[in-house]
Amino acid sequence: MHILVTNDDGIRAPGIKALYGAMRTLPDARVTVMAPDRNQSAIGHRKTLREPLRVDEVTLSDGTQAFACSGSPSDSIALALMGFVEDPVDIVVSGINQGPNMAQDITYSGTVTAAMEAALYQIPAIAFSLDSQTEPAFEAAAAFARHIVPLTAERGLPDLTLLNVNIPHTTAIKGVRVTWQGRRQYHDELVRRVDPGGRPYYWIGGKAPTGDREEVGSDIWAVAQDYISVTPIRLDMTHRQMIDDLENWLDDFSL
Ligand SMILES: [Mn+2]
C-alpha cells in the first residue's frame, strides 16, 4: 500500500509528523510525504496556474525525506498524482490539521481540499482534523487513522467522494459516528487599519466559528459529544431537489 501524505499546516507542522508516523507503522505500507512548504490553512481548493511551482526535497526533524511544494495542498496532490511521484498511489491522507474542519469549513480547508483533489484523480482520500488549536495531542487521531486508512484503501470510495474525519480533543473519546455536515456560525469581523503611508488595509478578524451542537447526527454534534466524526463528502454539490423548482422559475425565458 503506497500512502501519500499531505497537509495544509505546512510540511514541518507536528500534525503531519504524527500522521506519516502512524502510516509507517501499518503493515506493507510505503509512505511518501509531499506537502506545502509553509502554512496554507484556509487556502481552499486552489489550483496554481499563473506562477511556477517549485518542489524541494527536504529532511524533516526526524530524518524523514519529504517533498516541500511551493503551491497549495491541492497543488501538492495534483503534482504528485500527475507523475511527480512515479509509483502509483493507493490512498491519500491529509492532516492531521490543528483545528476542526466541519460543516461549511470544508471548502475553505486546505486539509479537505487536498483530499478533494485526490478524489478528482479517483484515488481514495481522507482528511483528518483535530478539534484543537492549541497544544494538540495527536495520538487518538493517529490511532484512528491507522484503523480507517487500510479499510478505505481496501474497500475504495464512490466516485468523486472523500472522507472527512474530525477528532475531538479529549482523552475520553466515546467512539465513532458517521455524520453529515452540520451548520457553522461564523463570527468574522472586518478589521480596518491604516498603514504608515496612510492607506487602509483589512484583516478578517473576529472570534473562532461556533456551530449548532444540538443537531443530532451532524459532525459538529458528534465532536461536541466526544465522538470521532466521519463524514462522506461528495464533490457534486448540486441541489437536486431544487432542479424542478428552478426550471419553473426560468421556463418562460426566450430570446
Ligand atoms: Mn490548517
Residue 24 binned pLDDT confidence (cut-offs 50, 70, 90): very high
How far, in Å, from the CA of 39 to the mean position of ligand 1? 7
How far, in Å, from the CA of 251 to the mean position of ligand 1? 44
Residue 228 binned pLDDT confidence (cut-offs 50, 70, 90): very high
Q: Using CA atoms, how far apart are residues 135 and 210, in angstroms rounded to an integer?
A: 20
Q: Give pLDDT, residue 135.
A: 85
* Residues 31-90 pLDDT 10s: 999 999 999 999 999 999 999 999 999 999 999 999 999 999 999 999 999 999 999 999
Q: Give pLDDT, residue 133.
A: 85
- Start-end of H helices in the chain: 14-24, 73-79, 110-120, 139-155, 219-224, 243-250
How far, in Å, from the CA of 205 to the mean position of ligand 1? 17
Residue 168 binned pLDDT confidence (cut-offs 50, 70, 90): very high
Phi/psi region, residue 219 (left: phi>0; alpha: psi -120 to 50; beta: rest), is: alpha
Under DSSP, the state recorded for 77 is: H
Burial class (CB in 10 A: 0-12, 13-18, 19+), 180: middle
**Chain centre to alpha carbon of residue 234:** 13
All domains in the chain, ordered by first residue: 2-183+212-250 (3.40.1210.10)
* Residues 169-199 pLDDT 10s: 999 999 999 999 999 999 999 999 999 999 9
Question: How many helices (H) does the chain have, and how many strands (E)?
Answer: 6, 11
How far, in Å, from the CA of 71 to the mean position of ligand 1? 14
Q: Across residues 160-166, what is the average pLDDT?
A: 98
Q: Give pLDDT, residue 134.
A: 86
- Measure the CA dihedral 233/238/240/242, to 10°: 130
How far, in Å, from the CA of 112 to the mean position of ligand 1? 9
160, amino acid identity: L
How far, in Å, from the CA of 143 to the mean position of ligand 1? 20
* Residues 112-144 pLDDT 10s: 999 999 999 999 999 999 999 888 899 999 999
- Residue matched to cell numbers 501538492: 76
How far, in Å, from the CA of 88 to the mean position of ligand 1? 26
**Is there a contact between 142 and 22 (Cβ–Cβ < 8 Å)?**
yes
Q: Using CA atoms, how far apart are residues 31 and 67, in angstroms rounded to an integer?
A: 12
Q: Using CA atoms, how far apart are residues 65 and 93, in angstroms rounded to an integer?
A: 17
* Residue in 51, 124, 141, 47 with CA at minimum distance from that of residue 89: 124
